[in-house]
Amino acid sequence: MDNQNKITSILFLLKKKKILIGVPLLLLSVGVIYVGLVRFGVIKDPFPLPNIPFLQTVPQVSIKTEYKNPFDKKTQYVNPFDTYKNPFVIAK
């Protein structure tokens, strides 16, 4: 086998390897772009799969009122260094 045939066969193998690497990378990138567009609502999913949680849109919930503590803040403080007082023991 002469040098020209060796170079040609090596170039052919390199092109074949690039195709073997390039096609899966292309499919993977198309899939990632598709999932991103569906997830952010740019396009509607033509193949809806109900069991994929990250593709489902969640309902937006807003809080109308904020909780107000009805108790006095001073009475809710517990001193961690105070001795425990059993509430079930009646003082005489």
The DSSP annotation for 75-91 comes to GG---TTSPP--TTSPP
Residue linked to tokens 């292309």:
26
Give the pair of three-digit tokens for residue 46. 């033509």
Cα–Cα distance measured from residue 43 to residue 76, given in angstroms and rounded to the nearest whole number: 52
- 56 Cβ partners below 8 Å, 6+ apart? 50
Q: For residue 27, give the amino acid letter.
A: L
Residues 34, 38, 39, 41: is their CA dihedral positive or negative? positive
State residue 49's pLDDT score: 66
Give how far the C-alpha of residue 64 lies from the chain's centroid of Cα atoms, to the nearest Å.
28
Query: 49: which DSSP letter?
Result: -
Could you report the average pLDDT of every consecutive run of 10 residues in the chain (92 residues)? 66 68 83 85 74 65 80 74 79 67
Q: Which pTM does this prediction carry?
A: 0.39
State residue 51's pLDDT score: 67
